[in-house]
C-alpha cells in the first residue's frame, strides 16, 4: 500500500517532459498522509492541457452523496480499479502522475512498529500512477481528489508489506496520461511491481 510519502522537491523533469512550468507555490512536505492535499500532474477535462494541481488525497467518486468516503479511498488496487464503481470512470478518463521523493512503510519489530523510507537507488524522483476525480456537492462545493494505485510487492518490499505503489518509469508517463487510450489492456503492463534491485530502504524517523 502507500499511506505516507514525502515530496520535498517537485520533479522538474516532469515539467520538462510535458513542456509545462512547475509552479513555485506547490508546497514541499516530508510526511504527507491521506486527506491532505497532494501535488499531481493532471490533464484538463476541458482543454486537455497538462498542468500541476493540488488534489485531496482520498478519491471522492463523482456520484458520491458526500465526501466522507474519500479517506477510505486513498489507494486503489491496480488489478481491479478499472472495474470498480469508485474508480472505473477515473481509470478510463482521469489518470494522473503523482511525484514523490519516496514513501514510508512500517515493520513490526518486537512490540513496536518501525518506519522505513523507500526511495529509488538512482535517487531520481518517484512517480506514482494515480487517478483523479472531481466531485460537486449539493451546495455547489467542488472537490478534486486522487488515489494512488497499488500492485503486489516485489521481493524488496515484501518484508515490509505485501503491496506497493505503482511506480511508473519515465518512458511510461506519456502513455499513462494519454486519454485517447481506451483499450485498458494497453495500460495493464504499466501497472506491474517495480523490478527488484531498484529501490533503497532506510530506517526513518517520522
Active site residues: 2, 105
DSSP assignment of 109-169 equals ETTEEEEEEEEETT-PPEEEEEEEEEEE-TTS-EEEEEEEEEEE--TTTTTT-SEEE-B--
Q: Which of 22, 36, 171, 148 is nearest to 97 (CA)?
A: 148
Task: Kindly give, in sequence order, each residue whose CB lies less than 8 Å from that of residue 51, ignoring residues fewer than 6 positions away.
Answer: 20, 41, 42, 44
Q: How far is Cα 104 from Cα 116, in angstroms, rounded to an integer?
A: 5
161, 2 Cβ separation under 8 angstroms: no
Task: Kindly give, in sequence order, each residue whose CB lies less than 8 Å from that of residue 19, ignoring residues fewer than 6 positions away.
Answer: none
Three-class SS of residue 186? helix
Amino acid at each position: 500500500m502507500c499511506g505516507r510519502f514525502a515530496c520535498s522537491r517537485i520533479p522538474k523533469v516532469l515539467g520538462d517532459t510535458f513542456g509545462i512550468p512547475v509552479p513555485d507555490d506547490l508546497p514541499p512536505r516530508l510526511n504527507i498522509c491521506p486527506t491532505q492535499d497532494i501535488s499531481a500532474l493532471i490533464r484538463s477535462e476541458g482543454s486537455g492541457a497538462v498542468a500541476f494541481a493540488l488534489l485531496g488525497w482520498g478519491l471522492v467518486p463523482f456520484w458520491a452523496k458526500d465526501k466522507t468516503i474519500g479517506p477510505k479511498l486513498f489507494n486503489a488496487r491496480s488489478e481491479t480499479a478499472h472495474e470498480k464503481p469508485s474508480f472505473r470512470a477515473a481509470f478510463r478518463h482521469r489518470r494522473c502522475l503523482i511525484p514523490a521523493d519516496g514513501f514510508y512503510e512500517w515493520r513490526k519489530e518486537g512490540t513496536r512498529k518501525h518506519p522505513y523510507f523507500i526511495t529509488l537507488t538512482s535517487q531520481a524522483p518517484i512517480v506514482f500512477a494515480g487517478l483523479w476525480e472531481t466531485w460537486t456537492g449539493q451546495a455547489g462545493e467542488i472537490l478534486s481528489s486522487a488515489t494512488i494505485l497499488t500492485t503486489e510487492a516485489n521481493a524488496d518490499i515484501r518484508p515490509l508489506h505485501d503491496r506497493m505503489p505503482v511506480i511508473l518509469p519515465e518512458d511510461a508517463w506519456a502513455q499513462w496520461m494519454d486519454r485517447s487510450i481506451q483499450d485498458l489492456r494497453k495500460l495493464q503492463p504499466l501497472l506491474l511491481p517495480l523490478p527488484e534491485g531498484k529501490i533503497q530502504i532506510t530506517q526513518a524517523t517520522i
